[in-house]
Amino acid sequence: MKIRSVSLGIIRKEEDVLVEVINYPGISTTFYRPIGGTIEFGENSKQTLIREIREELNQEIEEPQLISVIENIFGVLDDIGHEIDFIYEVNLKEKTFYDLDEIDGIEGDIHYKAQWKPLQFFESECDVKLIPDGLLDLLSQRDNNNISVIKHVKTN
Predicted TM-score (pTM) of this structure: 0.86
Query: For the domain that residue 62 is a member of, what is the CATH number?
Result: 3.90.79.10
Q: Please say whether the dihedral angle defined by the alpha carbons of residues 45, 50, 63 and 16, taken in this order, is positive or negative.
A: negative
Q: What percent of the chain has pLDDT over 90?
A: 67
User: Residues 5-19, buried b or exposed e (16+ Cβ, 10 A)?
Assistant: bbbbbbbeeeebbbb
Give the ranges where 6-134 is alpha helix by DSSP (H).
45-57, 119-124
Asked if residue 104 has pLDDT above 90, the reply is yes
Give me the residues paired with residue 43 across strands. none
Q: For the residues 41-45, what does the mean pLDDT come to?
A: 95
What tens digit of pLDDT does each residue of 121-144 get?
Answer: 998 878 999 999 889 999 987 544
- The number of distinct structural domains making up the chain is 1
Q: Which domain holds residue 22?
A: 3-154
Amino acid identity at 124: S
Asked if residue 146 has pLDDT above 50, the reply is no
Indicate the pLDDT class of residue 79, thresholds 50, 70 and 90. confident
Judge contact between 5 and 39, C-beta under 8 A. Answer: yes
